[in-house]
Amino acid sequence: MFKQIQLNYNFNGLEPYIDELTMNTHYGKHHAAYTNNLNSALEKLPELKGQSIENILKDLSAISDEALRTSVRNNGGGYYNHNLYFDTMTPGGSKEPVGKLAKQIEKDFGNYQALKEKLTSAALGRFGSGWAWLSTNKNGDLQVSSSPNQDNPIMESNGEWTPILGIDVWEHAYYLKYKNLRGDYIANFFEVVNWDIVEKYYV
Ligand code: MN3
């Protein structure tokens, strides 16, 4: 039975960057639905009982029933992606990457500003619903990418790459406040990123 990650802040805690109504709907309705639907699909897949969500997502082809595979892909992705998203935000943000992660960002991208630009263009360039990602592999390399729908780098690389930060660019993540202005939402998202937590996912 998978459970939504607990928030360390209130629904209004990310104001004015992410508004209370969006948080309420996003966490309370969308993420809750992905989680419930994932658990329902897994009830029909007893062979996956006890497996981590990462293990399930890195080998979706192990699910032979096509409808169940699609359900686990969409809802398992939605479950995992939003746990990461909500966990890596904090009221006021923490401004800049730290520690080993900051060093690797310098190595792979030059500096934080360059990484931010790369993530922003991945997020802006994703047509329709999806995500932009900062991911790492077992060597500690970093990579920026984007995925459609609720897909993520774990599924796309069979577990070679694991996201440590994700920007949700589904309209449900920003439309109530920002309407069509995805770029404004993305710029403001960086104001609430908790780089201390992102670094914990990295090391
Ligand atoms: Mn979402």
Looking at every residue in the chain, the average pLDDT score rounds to 97
Give me the pLDDT at residue 93, please.
Answer: 85
The CA 63 to ligand 1 mean position distance, Å, reads: 24
**pLDDT greater than 90 at residue 114:** yes
pLDDT (tens digit per residue) in 165-190? 999 999 999 999 999 999 999 999 99
Assigned superfamily of 19-203: Iron/manganese superoxide dismutase, C-terminal domain (3.55.40.20)
pLDDT exceeding 70 applies to what percent of the chain?
100
The pLDDT of 191-198, averaged and rounded, is 97
Q: Is the pLDDT of residue 203 over 90?
A: no
Distance (Å, whole) CA 89 – CA 104: 21
How large is the average pLDDT for residues 131-150?
98
* Residues 45 and 68 sit within 8 Å (Cβ to Cβ): yes
Rounded CA Rg of the chain: 16
**What was the pLDDT predicted at 70?**
98
Mean per-residue pLDDT for 151-175?
A: 98
CB distance 42 to 197 below 8 Å: no
If you measure from the C-alpha of residue 113 to the centroid of ligand 1, how many angstroms do you get, rounded to a whole number?
25
203 or 188: which leads in pLDDT: 188
Domain boundaries, the chain: 19-203
Question: What is residue 78's DSSP assignment?
Answer: H
**What is the mean predicted confidence (pLDDT) over 113-127?**
98
Burial of 64 (0-12, 13-18, 19+ CB in 10 A): exposed
CA 162 / ligand 1 centre spacing (Å): 18
* Digit-coded pLDDT (tens) for 43-101: 999 999 999 999 999 999 999 999 999 999 999 999 999 999 999 999 998 889 999 99
Record the tokens describing residue 43, joined without a space. 């009830």
* Strands laid side by side in the 142-148 sheet: 142-148, 130-136, 162-168
Residue 178 CA to ligand 1 center (angstroms) comes to 15
- In whole angstroms, what is the distance from residue 27 CA to residue 87 CA? 11
* Alpha carbon of 107 to ligand 1 centroid (Å): 31
CB contact at 8 A, 186 and 123: yes
Q: How confident is the model at residue 153 (pLDDT cuts 50, 70, 90)?
A: very high
CA of 35 to the centre of ligand 1 (A): 12
Ligand 1 centroid – CA 14 distance (Å): 16
